[in-house]
Amino acid sequence: MAGRKNRSKSPGAARRRSRSAAPGGGADMGRWSSKRKMEAALRLLKGETLDAVSRDLRVSTTKLASWRDEFLAGGQASLKAREPDHRDELIKDLHAKVGELTMDNELLEMLVDRMEGRHGHPPLRRSKP
């Protein structure tokens, strides 16, 4: 008997063991997919109580409330997104052009500095004596 684990014989302990082993039990379900989280959040939004959903899915009320809040925040964010505009492509091209011109300008400034012998670089041309 020294090598055996002492399991509790109480009805509550047996119920906890069977609940975690039951199909659909939260303990053995592993990670929750976004679809399952959404379904849980929708149940709450349709009016089921937090406690009832928590008991049914075997997930803490805190976690369920968090999923519901994240679901609502995601929906709100998607409603804030604006429709693509025909000017978006032009704006993208103009940003690229500004970046290209900025890089060209920086390179030209470096060449001028080097030609004038600034920044510790020897001049590119030797001045006539």
Asked if 50 contacts 65 with a C-beta cutoff of 8 angstroms, the reply is yes
Per-residue pLDDT at 19 exceeds 80: no
DSSP state of 28: T
Per-residue pLDDT at 119 exceeds 70: no
pLDDT score of 125: 60
Residue 124's pLDDT band (boundaries 50, 70, 90)? low
Residue whose tokens read 């939260």:
26
pLDDT score of 63: 93
- What is the arithmetic mean of pLDDT over 103-109? 92
pLDDT score of 88: 86
- What is the arithmetic mean of pLDDT over 9-13? 49
pLDDT score of 23: 41
C-alpha dihedral, 115 to 117 to 123 to 128, nearest 10°: 90
- Span 28-71, pLDDT tens digits: 456 889 999 999 999 999 999 999 999 999 999 999 999 999 99
- Span 72-103, pLDDT tens digits: 999 888 888 777 788 888 999 999 999 999 99
Using CA atoms, how far residue 43 sits from 48, 68, 94, in Å, is 6, 9, 47
pLDDT higher at 128 or 92: 92
pLDDT higher at 77 or 5: 77
Q: Can you tell me the distance from the alpha carbon of 99 to that of 66, in angstroms, rounded to the nearest whole number?
A: 42
Full DSSP string of 60-111: -HHHHHHHHHHHHHHHHHHHHSPPP-TTHHHHHHHHHHHHHHHHHHHHHHHH
Cα 17-20-28 angle, rounded to 5 deg: 140
Q: Which two tokens stand for residue 107?
A: 């390179």
Using CA atoms, how far residue 10 sits from 4, 33, 34, in Å, is 18, 34, 37
